[in-house]
Structure 1
Amino acid sequence: MANEDHVRIVWEGAEAIAKWRSQFPGERLDLSNAVFIKHEAEDAITPDLEDADLSYAILTDAILENVNLKSANLANANLRNANLRNAILSSSKMEKVDLSSAHLENAKLLYTELSGARLSNAKFKEADLRHSLFIRANLNFADFTDSRLDKATILGANIEGADFNGASMSEIYLSRSNLKDADLTNTNLRKSELSNTNLTNTNMTQADLSEANLIGANLSGVNLTKTVLLGVRIDSSTEISSVYGVIGCEVDRYTLEYLSSQDNNLTSGKMMDMNIHDDLATLKSQFGGFWGGIHLTSIILFLSPYIWFLVSIRPIAEFNLSTKIASAEVMRIFEYLSRTSQSEPQLIYKSMTLFEALVRYIWSGGVDWYGACKLNLMSFLAFYFFLSYNMFRGMLLWKTKKLETIETVTKLPVLFSLNHLLIDFSHNTNPATIEWGRIYFRDLLNKLKITKISWGDCLYLVNKGVWVYLLFVLYNTLHFLTMEILI
């Protein structure tokens, strides 16, 4: 039973505990079976133990439901079978704590240190453990049903037989751990780090492992029914054998090559039950062969008026306005300048750079660009849209050709996913390629909450923008055909 004096001190809060520790250094708080909740009328009263030092305390079978233990020190404390439902334990220090068979349903343990903790059979159902740290912890048969473990770190831990059904574990670092016989049904493991992890006989039914790192992992005997394995990192060190239940498994062609090469049980019949994604085939069907030629021709046609303009205006820069070998376009400009300046043609030396001329041409839609140069809004918006659209289209054409070349030369499937990033503005991982974007577009992207653009996003924009593109083509065609010319 608990020491009543110790219970009273804990009810008084963190300062009283600190004072007691200074008076009795080295003595352990005996709070076993203590109840830290009082019901008065319709209210439940609990002590405020934020920042409290409860290290080495004996709290077996204690009731700490709804108690605020934020930033508390519970290192080496004994909390076996304790009731911590709805407790606030965020940022608390719980190294080597014993929480075996403890109840932490719906508890908040964000940024909590649980390295070396004993958590076997602990109940973490619907608990929030985001960003928490578990190094060499014992989590055997723990219940993490519907919990949140996003961006948590679990390294070298023993998690055999644990239940993660419905848990959110995106971007979790779960390397070099033992998850043998664990239940990962309906678990979100997107972008998780599972390298060198033992996943033998785990149930991954309806789990999402998109873009997870499975290099060196052991997936022998796993259940992959309706599992998502798109864009996962996998190589020859990944052990895959005796896989069962592959019906509805979503897998890309690259990963399937490894699955079929290592698992003799994965017959053609079983593969027919899988949902096989081939993002390269998707890209080639729209930007390879005949359609690639169509896209390339369209881009050339978009550029041709501006190339023609520069070619026709080149004599002004190459020679002089007084020369007699200027083109018809040059002579029209020459005559206009002559009239407006009220001077003889050969005496006019008014000039501008080719770049300025091109900008004025785009700004005015080609109408009176060398004169008043008024904004032609529709034409300018059309140019801006065409430029953006064709930039994305050009990048997709380049990517398709590059992947086709690699596949032809190596005669092996290439690792490609439409989820792979085209541009990443969130952090400067490649200054040579994204610094320009960071300088000129960072503020705009932040306002639009856009930090990353994937190849899939690029393809989506091109496919959805085609109708707008055709409307602008129709408008530009009518605009071109109704332009007045000198005769």
Structure 2
Amino acid sequence: MEIQELMERYQKGETNFEKVDLHGQILSNINLSRANLKESDLSGVEFINCSFVETNLKGSNVNNSILKGDLTGVNLIRATLLHSDLSQSNLTDASLRAANLTECNLSESKLVYALLHDSILKDANLSKAQMTNCLLSRANLSGANLQGANLQGCNLTNALLLNTNLEGANLSFAQLNSVNAVGINATHTNFSHANLSAGNFASAIFHSANLTDAMVTWVSLRSADFTKANFSGAKLSWSNFMRANLTHANLTDAQTNNTNFEDAILDGVILNTEQ
């Protein structure tokens, strides 16, 4: 279907366009808010300054597309958005459960309260994205770029974060329990008051990271780099810091009962801890 025909029908009050084929079409200032485009083909489209507020795109093919504008409350459950560009778009309250966003560009986008659980975000660009209170449990963020992103209060329980870039990100008050985050870059990252319990952060880089008052119990931190990291007031009980580098780390008032520091580098560390 040509987009002009669809828009004419939409403007006359029609909203059901399920399984419509719009692939490869280009249009600016398009408004399809609250329309039903379930399981449609939007691959290769270029919709700039669009309005898809509460639009149903469940199961749609949005691969290799440019979709920029107001997507508040959009339904992209189980949609595929491989290599697509949604940067600087508003996806507040969007539903993206089990969507495939591999290599998708979401930089500087707004994903506040978005539902991304069980989604695939491998190698996606989420730099400087606003993701406060976002649901990301069981999401695959391996290789993703979250540099400078705001994930305050996010739920990342059981997420996969292999070699993810979290440099300078804000994860304060976030839930990261049981994550697999081997090899992450968390330089200058804020984990204050976050819950990292039962996670695997082996070989991760936490240089100058803020972990004040964080819950870091039963965690694998083998060979991780915590140079100049701040653990003041953190709970580190039963965690494994074997061969970790804690040079000049601050453990003031940290709880370290049954914590394993075997072969760890503790040069210049502040260790007036609670037991």
What is the aligned partner in structure 2 of residue 247 from structure 1?
Answer: 207
Determine which of 33, 39, 45 is the counterpart of 1:70.
33
TM-score, normalised to structure 2's length? 0.80
Counterpart-to-counterpart distance in 1, 2:184 and 2:257? 30
State whether structure 2 residue 122 is matched by structure 1 residue 160: yes
**C-alpha distance 247-67 of structure 1, shift in aligned 2 (>3 A):** same
Aligned to 1:275: 230
Secondary structure at the counterpart of residue 116 of structure 2:
strand
Shift of 1:189: 0.4
Corresponding residue of 1:264: 222
User: Matches of 1:147 and 1:271 in 2, distance apart?
Assistant: 30
- Do residues 226 (structure 1) and 181 (structure 2) align? no
Q: Aligned pair 1:122/2:90, yes or no?
A: no
Q: Which residue of 2 aligns with 1:293?
A: none
Instruction: Decide whether the 8 Å contact of 2:60 with 2:76 is kept in 1.
Output: yes
| Residues 9 and 16 in structure 1, CA contact (< 8 A), matched pair in contact too | no
Matched residue type, 1:264: R
Partner residue in 1 for 2:148:
186
The alpha carbon displacement at 1:99 in A equals 0.7
Closer, same or farther: CA 117–172 of 1 in aligned 2, 3 Å: same
2:66 partner SS: coil
**In the alignment, is the contact (CA less than 8 A) between 1:10 and 1:17 conserved in 2?**
no
Aligned counterpart for 1:216 among listed residues 178, 183, 187: 178
1:53-91 CA distances to partner (integer Å, 9 max, x unpaired)? 222111111113211111111111111110111100011
Matching residue's letter, 1:134: L
Alignment of 1:321-470 (within 5 A): none
Question: How far apart in 2 are the matches of 1:66 and 1:152?
Answer: 24
Deviation for aligned residue 1:112:
1.0
Question: Structure 1, residues 399-440: CA drift from partner, whole Å, max 9, x if none?
Answer: xxxxx9xx7xx9579xxxxxxxxxxxxxxxxxxxxxxxxxxx
Query: Compared with structure 1, are the counterparts of its residues 91 and 206 closer, same or farther at alpha carbon in structure 2 (3 Å cutoff)?
Result: same
Is residue 83 of structure 1 aligned with residue 83 of structure 2?
A: no
Cα gap change, 1:276/1:80 in structure 2, threshold over 3 Å: closer, same or farther? same
Q: What's the secondary structure of 1:104's corresponding residue?
A: strand
The answer to whether the aligner puts 1:145 opposite 2:107 as a matched pair is yes
Distance in 2, Cα, partners of 1:230 & 1:174: 19
Report the Cα offset of residue 213 of structure 1: 0.6
CA 1:54–1:8 in structure 2 vs 1: closer, same or farther (change >3 Å)?
A: same
Q: Which has the higher contact order (CA 8 A, sep 6+)?
A: 2
What residue identity is the alignment partner of 1:239? N
- For 1:278, the aligned partner's letter is G
**CA displacement at 1:275 relative to structure 2:** 3.0
Distance in 1, Cα, partners of 2:64 & 2:9: 26
Pick aligned residue for 1:176 from 138, 158, 166? 138
Give the number of equivalent residue pairs: 241
Change (3 A) 1:66 1:252: same
Structure 2 distance, partners of 1:128, 1:221, is 31
Unpaired runs of at least 5, structure 2: 236-252, 260-275
- Native 8 Å contact 2:200 2:221 kept in 1: no
Q: Secondary structure at the match of 2:35?
A: coil
Between the aligned partners of 2:222 and 2:129, the Cα distance in structure 1 is 32
Answer yes or no: is the 8 Å Cα contact 2:196–2:214 preserved in 1: no
5+ long unaligned stretches in structure 1: 19-51, 281-403, 414-487
Displacement after TM superposition at 1:276 (Å): 3.4
Q: CA–CA distance in 2 between the matches of 1:11 and 1:243?
A: 50
Post-superposition offset of 1:123: 0.3
Q: TM-score, normalised by structure 1?
A: 0.47
Q: What is the alpha-carbon distance in structure 2 between the residues aligned to residue 254 and residue 69 of structure 1? A: 44
Q: What RMSD over aligned residues (CA atoms) do the two structures have, in Å?
A: 2.4
Query: Is contact 1:170–1:191 with CA below 8 Å preserved after alignment?
Result: yes
2:243 paired residue number: none
Letter in 2 for 1:196: N
| Matched residue type, 1:252 | T
Structure with the largest fraction of helix: 1
Instruction: Give 1:223 shift.
Output: 0.3
Change (3 A) 1:189 1:8: closer
Q: Which structure is larger by alpha-carbon Rg, 1 or 2? A: 1
Name the residue aligned to 1:98: 61
Q: Are 2:195 and 2:214, in contact at CA under 8 Å, matched by a contact in 1? A: no
